[in-house]
């Protein structure tokens, strides 16, 4: 693969990153590259046993903290323990899982992928000095968020549609956060990234026929290794002159693989009125309010 690679990550000595879901897949690859570049990395994970093994591999610059994004009390407890960081990478996620609910009663995918990260960012933003990177997916294209039924209480559950909704919510959140930071005169940035088609542990958890095709897809040439899938979020997190509000992803094979660059997206994400309504509903559901002007 030509273009921007791990070797192009600038020196990160003296910088601290919080990476959610850093015990496997894209999060693990991201944390590994950041540590090698000199950064201190907080592995924010639900499965601390797996995270401890990763920290042992990466060395003393990697530390582990418990974070279950499907439990707002866990989110608040984690955030209270963070004294400060330069960058927050909202990486963790679930994909097309069977219907179930979070501790707080949210549909699991919107609750984990979006609402958990929304609350986490609200709590950490005053402690973040530079930028927030939120990981979306090309599957945001199938998202069609129903604000009056965000948690699938009235509709028949469709796991892939719910996943697409959560990834569209990630994209809309990242863009709306960028707009609000700019309006507040903040120097902080909000970026969004997606991995294209990356072979990770995310696939194969739907518990239906789609698992077969997901696992088959991981073996085809269209799938890239997790290390390559992590490049767009590493680019968004480390390149100094990235433009806030930009969506980054692979630039080859219709955004499925290749070096990172600006990515196309469903233009519904530019609907500022809908983004604001989603923001307001997310604040209502999580009980967490943003102060985008805090600390800078």
Interhelix angle 72-80/117-124, nearest 10 degrees: 20
The pLDDT value recorded for residue 75 is 98
Q: Which residues contact 168 (CB under 8 A, 6 or more apart)?
A: 136, 140, 143, 144, 145, 266, 268, 269
Instruction: Name the residue ranges covered by the structural domains of the chain.
Output: 6-286
- Please give the CATH number for the structural domain made up of 6-286: 3.40.50.720
163 is catalytic: yes
The pLDDT value recorded for residue 184 is 97
The pLDDT value recorded for residue 217 is 45
The pLDDT value recorded for residue 198 is 87
Tell the residue number behind the tokens 């209270």, with chain if given: 80
Q: How far apart are CA 6 and CA 255, in angstroms?
A: 19
List the pLDDT tens digit at each of the 296 positions of the chain: 469 999 999 999 999 999 999 999 999 999 999 999 999 999 999 999 999 999 999 999 999 999 999 999 999 999 999 999 999 999 999 999 999 999 999 999 999 999 999 999 999 999 999 999 999 999 999 999 999 999 999 999 999 999 999 999 999 999 999 999 999 999 999 999 999 998 766 545 444 444 443 444 445 456 899 999 999 999 999 999 999 999 999 999 767 889 999 999 999 999 999 999 999 999 999 999 998 876 54
The pLDDT value recorded for residue 295 is 52
Tell the residue number behind the tokens 């501790």, with chain if given: 103
The pLDDT value recorded for residue 65 is 98
Catalytic member of 163, 235, 248, 265: 163
The pLDDT value recorded for residue 216 is 45
CB 26 within 8 A of CB 232: no
Specify the DSSP class assigned to residue 242.
P
Of the candidates 55, 71, 67, 73, the residue with the CA atom closest to the CA atom of residue 92: 67
């Amino acid at each position: 693969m030509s273009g921007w690679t791990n070797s192009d990550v600038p020196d990160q000595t003296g910088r601290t990153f919080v990476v959610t879901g850093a015990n496997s897949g894209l999060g693990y690859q991201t944390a590994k590259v950041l540590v090698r570049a000199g950064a201190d990395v907080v592995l924010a994970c639900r499965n601390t046993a797996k995270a401890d093994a990763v920290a042992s591999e990466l060395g003393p610059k990697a530390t582990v903290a418990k974070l279950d994004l499907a439990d707002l009390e866990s989110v608040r407890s984690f955030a209270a323990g963070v004294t400060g960081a330069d960058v927050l990478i909202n990486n963790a996620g679930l994909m097309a899982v069977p219907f179930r609910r979070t501790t707080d009663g949210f549909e699991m995918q919107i609750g984990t992928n979006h609402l958990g990260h929304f609350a986490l960012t609200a709590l950490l933003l005053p402690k973040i000095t530079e930028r927030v990177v939120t990981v979306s997916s090309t599957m945001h294209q199938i998202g069609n968020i129903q604000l009056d039924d965000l948690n699938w209480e009235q509709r028949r559950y469709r796991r892939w549609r719910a996943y697409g909704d959560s990834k569209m919510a990630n994209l809309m959140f990242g863009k709306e956060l960028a707009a609000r930071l700019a309006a507040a005169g903040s120097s902080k940035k909000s970026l969004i990234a997606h991995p294209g088609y990356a072979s990770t542990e995310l696939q194969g958890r739907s518990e239906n026929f789609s698992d077969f095709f997901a696992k088959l897809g991981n073996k085809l040439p269209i799938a890239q290794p997790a290390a390559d899938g992590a490049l767009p979020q590493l680019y968004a997190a480390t390149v100094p002159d990235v433009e806030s509000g930009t969506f980054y992803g692979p630039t080859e094979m219709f955004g499925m693989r290749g070096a990172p660059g600006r990515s196309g997206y469903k233009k519904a994400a530019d609907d500022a009125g809908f983004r604001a309504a989603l923001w307001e509903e997310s604040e209502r559901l999580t009980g967490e309010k943003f102060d985008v002007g805090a600390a800078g």
